Chain A
Amino acid sequence: QKEVEQNSGPLSVPEGAIASLNCTYSDRGSQSFFWYRQYSGKSPELIMSIYSNGDKEDGRFTAQLNKASQYVSLLIRDSQPSDSATYLCAVTAPGGYNKLIFGAGTRLAVHP
Chain B
Amino acid sequence: KAGVTQTPRYLIKTRGQQVTLSCSPISGHRSVSWYQQTPGQGLQFLFEYFSETQRNKGNFPGRFSGRQFSNSRSEMNVSTLELGDSALYLCASSPGTGHETQYFGPGTRLLVL
Give A residues with C-beta under 8 Å from B. Answer: 31-32, 34, 36, 42-46, 49, 51, 88, 90, 92, 96-105
Contact = CB atoms under 8 A, between A and B. Distances in A.
Contacts of A31: 99
A97 B100 CA distance: 8
Residue with the highest number of chain B CB atoms closer than 10 Å, among A42, A49, A88, A99: A99
Contacts of B105: 43
Given A43-B106, A44-B90, A88-B43, A99 B33 contact: yes
Nearest to A92: B99
B20 interface: no
A10 to B, nearest CB: 15
Nearest to B49: A98
B24 interface: no
Interface in B55-74: 55-56, 58
B58 A99 contact: yes
Interface in B66-113: 88, 90, 92, 94, 96, 98-107
